[in-house]
Structure 1
Amino acid sequence: MWSTFCLGVAGLVVMWISNWIRRWRNPKCDGVLPPGSMGFPLIGETLRLINPSYSLDLHPFIKKRLQRYGPIFRTSIVGRPAVISADPEFNNFLFQQEGRLVELYYLDTFSKIFALEGESRTNEFGAVHKYVRSIYLNHFGAERIKGKLLPQIEEVVNKTLREWSTQASVEIKHAASVLVLDYSAKQIISYDAEKSPVSLSEMYTKIGKGFLSFPLNIPGTAYNQCLKDQKKTIAMLRDMLKERRASPETNRGDLLDQISRDMNKEKFLSEDFIVHMIFGGFFATFESISTVLALALMLLAEHPAVLEEMIIEHETILKNREDPNSSLMWDEYKSMTFTLQVISETLRLASIAPGVVRKALKDIPVKGFTIPKGWAIMMVTSTLHLSPNTFNNPLKFNPWRWKDLDSHVISKNFMPFGGGVRQCAGAEYSRAFMATFFHVLLTKYKYSLIKVGNITRDPILGFGKGIHIKFSEKS
C-alpha cells in the first residue's frame, strides 16, 4: 500500500511538472504568438544570450534567431517572457507609443540595481520624464557645452593625457571610464576624485562586472556583490543629498544643487527617486563614452589613412586660430566634420547594448502576431546599424560612408542614443567629449597599441583583456 501511495504521488508530481513545462513553452495569448522558443523553465534562454561572442557583428543569439524566425520572435530572458524585434518599422512605431502602448522596462537584473524599491516612478511618463530630461539637458545639453563645458573638458583631457604619457601603457577602456566618470560626477555632485574617500570609478567598475550576470542573489555570486556595491553608492549619494538639504545656502552650481532645491516644488522628487536617478546617470556616462573611445582608438590605429585625415583636420583648426593657445570653441567643434563621421562610424559598429527594452501595456498586434500585455519587448537597434541594405559592407570601418548618407535615412537607421521621446539627453555631450579628446590627443600626442584583447559581446560590448596603449608627447 505504501509503495502504491508513493507511486501515485510521484505520478502526480510528474504530471504537474509536465503540465508546468507545457504551459511554460506555450504561454497564453489572445491571438498568435510570434515564432520562437521559451527555452528552459525559469532561466529561459538567458545563458545563450550572455554567452560571449568575439566579433563586432550581431550577437549569435540574436543573429541565428533572426535567420530562423524572422525579424520578430519570442523568447524568455531571466524567467521573463519577451519579444525581440529587429523590424525597423515596428520599432519606430513603438518609440512613438511611449506611455500609450509601452513603457520603460528593466529586466530583473537591471531593475534591482537601477530602479526604486517599492516604486515605479522610473516608468512614469509625462511630467517626470520631462523633468529628468530637462535637468540633464540643463547641465549637459548643447547650451551648457557651448557656454561652459567645452574648455573644461579640454583642460581635464590635457591633464589626463599628460599623466597617461608618463606611464608605460594604459588600459584605455578602464582609464577612459575613470576620466569620463570623474568629470561627469563633478558636474552632477561636485565630486573631487583626489579628495573623496570613495572612488566612484572603482565602485562602478565592480558594479559593471556584475549587473549583466544571472540574477542569483546569494553570497559569492557576481550579482550579489554587485548589489552590495550598488547599496554603498546609493548610501553615499543619499548622505550627500541630505547634506545639501541641510545647507541650502551653499551654492555649488551642480545638478544636485538644482534638484535639491526643486524638491520643494516637485512632489515626485523623493529622496529615493533622486539618488537612483543620479546613480543611473553615472552608469550611463561611465560605460558608453569610454567604450566608444576605446574602440575608436583601436580602429584608428588599424586604419592609418583615417587617422591621418583626422590629424589634418585638427591641425587645420590650430592653424586657423588667431591665438594658437586659446581654448577649443564651439564653432571649431562643429567644424570637425570628419571627426564626427569617425565618431558616428564607431558608434554604429559599437552598438554597445543590443537594444532597448519596453513593456507592453496592452496586447499589441503586429504583422499577424500578438504581443501579450505585460511582456517585455527588446527593440534591437543594432540590427539597423549593421544592415547591408543601409550600410554597404556593414562590418567595415569606413567613416567616409557618412558623406553620402541622406539625413532621413540616418534618422531612421542610426539610433546609438535610443529613439523617440527617450532619446538620451547626453547625446551631444558624448560627441563633444569624444571630439575634444581627439582634438587634444591628435594635436599634442601620438599613441601606439601595445596589447589588444579580444572584442567580446555578452551581449554588451567589451574588450576581453583590454586595449593597452602607449601615449607619448609629440616632439
Structure 2
Amino acid sequence: MCAYHMRLSGVAAFVLLLMLLLLLLYAVHRWRNPRCSGRLPPGSMGLPLVGETLEFFSPEASLDVPRFVRHRLERYGPIFKTSLVGHPVVVSADEELNYMVFQQEGQLFQSWYPDSFVEILGRDNVGEQQGAMFKYLKNMVLRYFGPESLRESSMLRDVEHAVSSSLCTWSTLPAVELKEAVSTMVFDLSANKLLDLEPSRSKILRKSFFDFVRGLISFPLYLPGTAYYSCMKGRQSAMEVLQEVLEERKRSVQVLEAGEGAMETARRHGGDFLDLVIQEITKEKPVVTDRMALDLMFVLLFASFHTTSLALTLAVKLLADHPRVLEELTVEHETIRKARHGSDGITWMEYKSMTFTSQVINETVRLANIAPGIFRKALKDIRFKGFTIPAGWGVMVCPPAVHLNPVIYPDPLIFNPTRFKDKPEIDRGSRHFMAFGGGLRSCVGADFSKLQMSIFLHFLVTRYRWKSLGGGKTVRNPGLEFPDGYHIQIRHWN
C-alpha cells in the first residue's frame, strides 16, 4: 500500500509539474504573440517581463543610430514592435507615423512614459498631465521662458553675466572638464532664475541633480549600487530641498503680504519663477497643487541644465574637430562685436542676427539626439500602413532614426551646419527635425536653451581660444554621454 501511495504521489507531482510547464509555455507563447484585432508590426517581444530592455540599454561608442534600433530597422523596416521594461511598444522611424503621433495628441495618442521613467520624473510631472491641465502648465512656463519673456526680461543680461564670468574663471585653470563645468554654469543660472537660490543651497541641489542624471537612462533595478538606485536617491534629495524652498517662500510671502501688501511682496522678490508658482498654488481655488508645482520645478531644472550642457559640450568638441566651421562661426560673431557701439552687452537684435550660429546649434542637436525616444500611448486601435497598433500600447518615436537617415540628411554623421541654411521651418519643428520634440509637446525651454548656447558661443569664439587635452569620446546608453568627460585648456585671447 505504501509503495502504491508513493507511486501515486509521484504521478501527481509529475502531472503538476507538467501542468506548470504547459502554463509557462502558454505564457511565453502569449507574451511573444500578443493579442491584436489586426496585424501587428514585425519584431520580437523578447524575454517575458524583461522584453528587449537589456539590449535597449546596451552602450555604444558612436553618434550613429543606436544599435538596438539600427539592427531592427535593417531587419523589420521603419515600424517594428518590441517590449521595454515590461511594456509592449511600437517603435517608429516612419515620418508619416511620427507626424500623426504628434498631431493627433488627445485624439489617437496621449503622452506616456514607462512607469520607471515616471517614477524618476514624478507622478505629477508636466509630461503626465493631459488636455487642459497640460496646456495650463505649459502656458505658465512660457510666461517666464517663452520668446516674448526672454526678450523683455533681464534674462539675456543674466545669461551673458553667467557665461562671461564662467569663461573668465575657466581661463585661469590649467584644465577644465567641460561637461561638468558647463553643467554647473547652466544649473546655477537656472536655479537662480527659477528659485533665486543662494550659492550654498544651489550647490547642494546641484549635487543631487548630478547624482540623479548619472542613472537617468538606466535599467530600472532599485538595488544599492545600481545607477537607477543612485538616480532615485538623487531625486529624493533634490525634492527635499525643493520642498524646503517652497515652504520657506510661502511663509515669506504670507508675512510680507500681511505687513506690506502684495505689490511690496512682488517688489522684494526678484520675480523668479517660484513667485509665479506661489501665486498659482495660493489662489482661492488653485488649479495647481503643491506636488504638481514641485514636480514642475524639478523637471524644469533637470531639462534646462542636462540637455543644454550636453549640447554645448558636443558643440565645442565638434567645432574643435572642424576648424572651417569654427572659422565661419568666428567671423559671424566678430562682425557682430565690431559693429557694436560702446561697451553694452549683446542686444536682442544681435542675438536674432546670429544666423550661422543657429545652423550650428541645429546641426549639433541633430547629431546629439539627446532624447533617444519620445513616447506616446495609443488611445484606441490604430491602423497604419497595414499594421495595427493596439489600444494601450506605447509608441516610441525615434528621433535618431530620422536625424541620421541618409535620405533626409546626406552624409548624416558629418558635421555640416549649412545643411540648415534657408530652412526657417526647422525652428518650429518638422517631420524631419524633432530635437526639441514635436506637436503640442514641443520643448517649452527650447528658446531659453538656444539663447544660452548662442551667447556662450559668442563669448567663446570672440574672446578665447581652447585646445583639447583628453576625453571627448561619446557613448549612447541609449542617451548621449561623455564617459571620460571632455578636458580642455582655455585661454583668454582677445
TM-score range, shorter chain: over 0.9
State how far apart, in whole Å, the 2-side matches of 1:197 and 1:55 are: 34
- Does 2:227 match 1:196? no
* Matches of 1:318 and 1:120, distance apart in 2: 41
Partner residue of 1:158 out of 164, 167, 178: 164
Whole-angstrom CA distance in 2 between matches of 1:111 and 1:406:
34
Q: Deviations over 1:371-395 (max 9, x none)?
A: 1111110011222211222212111
Alignment match of 1:46 (pick from 45, 53, 74): 53
Partner of 2:131: 126
Deviations 1:17-53 (A, max 9, x none): 1111111101111111111000011111011111011
Task: Provide Cα deviations, 1:218-273, integer angstroms capped at 9, x if missing partner.
Answer: 33322223212211211221222122222223442111111111121564311111
Segments of structure 2 that go 5 or more residues without pairing to the other structure are 1-6, 257-264
Structure 2 residue aligned with 1:136? 141
Q: Secondary structure at the match of 1:30?
A: coil
Partner of 1:181: 187
Q: Give the deviation of 1:347 after TM superposition.
A: 1.0
**8 Å CA contact 2:179, 2:313 repeated in 1:** yes
What number of residue pairs does the alignment pair up?
471
Q: Percent identity?
A: 42
User: Aligned residue for 1:228?
Assistant: 233
Q: Pick closer, same or farther for the CA change 1:291–1:52 going to 2, 3 Å.
A: same
2:280 to 254, 262, 271: 262
Structure 2 counterparts to residues 211-360 of structure 1, below 5 A: 211-248=216-253, 249=256, 250-251=265-266, 252=269, 253-263=271-281, 264=283, 267-323=286-342, 325-360=343-378
Q: CA offset at residue 212 of structure 1? A: 1.7
**Which among 457, 462, 469 is matched to residue 481 of structure 2?**
462
Q: 1:73 to 1:443 in 2, by over 3 A?
A: same
Question: Is 1:15 the counterpart of 2:22 in the alignment?
Answer: yes
What is the alpha-carbon distance in structure 2 between the residues aligned to residue 167 and residue 202 of structure 1? Answer: 22
Matched, 1:399 2:417: yes
**2:108 touches 2:380 (CA, 8 Å); kept in 1?**
yes
1:390 aligns with 2:408: yes
CA distance in 2, matches of 1:342, 1:198: 31
CA contact (8 A) 2:92 2:397 kept: yes
CA contact (8 A) 2:175 2:488 kept: yes
Code of the aligned partner of 1:413: H
The letter for the 1-side match of 2:314 is L
Counterparts of 2:426 and 2:297, CA distance in 1: 34
List alignment gaps of at least 5 residues for structure 1: none
Change over 3 Å in CA distance of 1:463–1:372 after alignment to 2: same
Does the CA contact (< 8 Å) of 2:143 and 2:149 recur in 1? Answer: yes
CA contact (8 A) 1:73 1:84 kept: yes
Secondary structure (helix, strand or coil) at the match of 2:402 reads: helix
**Distance of 2:125 and 2:464 partners within structure 1:** 48
Given that residues 109 and 211 in structure 1 are in contact (C-alpha distance below 8 angstroms), is that contact kept between their aligned partners in structure 2?
no
2:399 maps to: 381
Contact (CA 8 Å) 1:135, 1:255: kept in 2 or not? no
Q: 1:363 to 1:97 in 2, by over 3 A?
A: same
Deviation at 1:185, TM superposition (A): 1.3
Deviations 1:34-79 (A, max 9, x none): 1100001111101111101111110011011111111110000011
Tell me the CA shift for residue 115 of structure 1.
2.6
User: Structure 2 CA distance, aligned partners of 1:370 and 1:120?
Assistant: 30
What is the CA–CA distance in structure 2 between the aligned matches of 1:353 and 1:17, rounded to whole Å?
37
SS in 2 for 1:52: coil
Normalising to structure 1: TM-score of the pair? 0.95
Quote the RMSD (CA, aligned, Å): 1.8
Deviations 1:275-312 (A, max 9, x none): 01111111111211111101111110011111111111
Give how far 1:464 is off.
2.1
Q: What is the letter of the counterpart of residue 99 of structure 1?
A: G
User: Judging changes above 3 Å, is the alpha-carbon distance between structure 1 residues 361 and 268 closer, same or farther for their aligned structure 2 residues?
Assistant: farther
- TM-score calculated relative to the size of structure 2: 0.92
- Alpha-carbon spacing, 1:386–1:181, altered in 2? closer, same or farther (3 Å): same
8 Å Cα contact 1:98/1:125 also seen in 2 = no
